[in-house]
Structure 1
């Protein structure tokens, strides 16, 4: 009986893992198919997501109206958010909500006050842990903008790293075909999305406005701290001064970035193995042992040859 129960548990977990894997593959294939259909037609299947982003942006814009009134207080209460650090975070995150440093500092105070009133209201109503929410809600409101902006900056730099090798290969091919760098950037950037398109579109716009090329390169370096992207821009600056062929620079940079990305994946995989071992040792194994021990104990108490029946026979 115990062996049948153990086999049933093992079969359940195997089928559950297989079902989760197939469901994730289904979601991935569905997303790819919808993106392909969206590119081939004028139908947009992501209107709900875009409307959600617009609603979120409108909420933040409403909060920034009140944030202007608390900007001076926010700049004085600048724990973990110095003005220079905030300026770097907003610049590297793309600043999708067009916040200034003063508005960001005021937004922290506004959310802190909202958290305080929410905690006070939960205390009056008598919600569970109401006394603790009076402390934690204001802290969450204060640190929420800091964490969100830093997270956006990190994700943006990772997205920049991911798209850069393909972008460089395409640019290198265009340059070898005899196209100028400016024309190649304008044509190739149309087929990319995300921060890479934003950065080089802004670069082209600065060049059109008469900004010197080296200054525009320096602005790219200031807005991004991704090592691969910075090494590329520095190579372009050096090539501009020394006259090094740019197509060769792009090709070498793309190969180096792909090699670095492969090494990064191997490093993450090596770091994940001990974590999986810890989870298996301290979570999965104890739970499995407790389940088996519980089933054996129930079998001893209520089974056919249970202890209760033996005592009843005596």
Structure 2
């Protein structure tokens, strides 16, 4: 006789920001519900994320209401000013055609830059404090939908807890497993997709001069080039190039990369050096034709993966 599956009210697939924030919001609003978050990445893999994200004022208010923001606010860099230019790479002077101050309301910056590892850690800590179970190295391999519940089949991945697989029962499965969502495919949900033929280069840079909280976005012929302020004399770089050129840039040595940076950004911040690694991510648009199916719901990039310009992807996911 088969074992009775362990029962949860809700299973969330994906322990990124949206998956964790979804679990925290549900657990905070309905303390009696039993929640499980599973993620394909091994336990602790999130600690190696060297990237940073722009979090808009509305998302910060949400994080504050959920008891997450206070613990990480000191590590966030307010964006006090934003300037935008439209120019060519070779232009020595780039006229500013748009600038605005950094307050959504008096005393409230319109956005903060936050290291990903700090945000993820705070969301995890809050989820666990609310009684949410989190399992790394665990993948949803399939599900069987019933009239009153859904049986979700799990398997270990990348050093997970499960060797021979496991089935859990829940009332709802929420897919927060990213733009290439396997659960979306399992549910038979079709998408509208556009490949931009571009990749976004992401890395952290250190510089000699202070940024004074100013973010800059340069619209160049190859795509947007943004430098976003972090704590201290450090900034987060998001640089769009055609995919082949992006691959060339990230695979080359840091000296060549830094020279390319100076050509695009100039010397306003003094000498710029790369901190840690640099990575390129393919850019595209993927919108699910349906966000819900019986016993299954999509959230975050699984529902709508868009261009990361101005931090729209993360902040739309939080909404």
Note whether the superposition's TM-score is higher than 0.5: no
Structure 1 or 2, whichever has the larger Rg, is 1
TM-score normalized by structure 2?
Answer: 0.19
Greater helix share, structure number: 1
Greater strand share, structure number: 2
Name the structure, 1 or 2, with higher relative contact order (CA <8 Å, separation 6+): 2
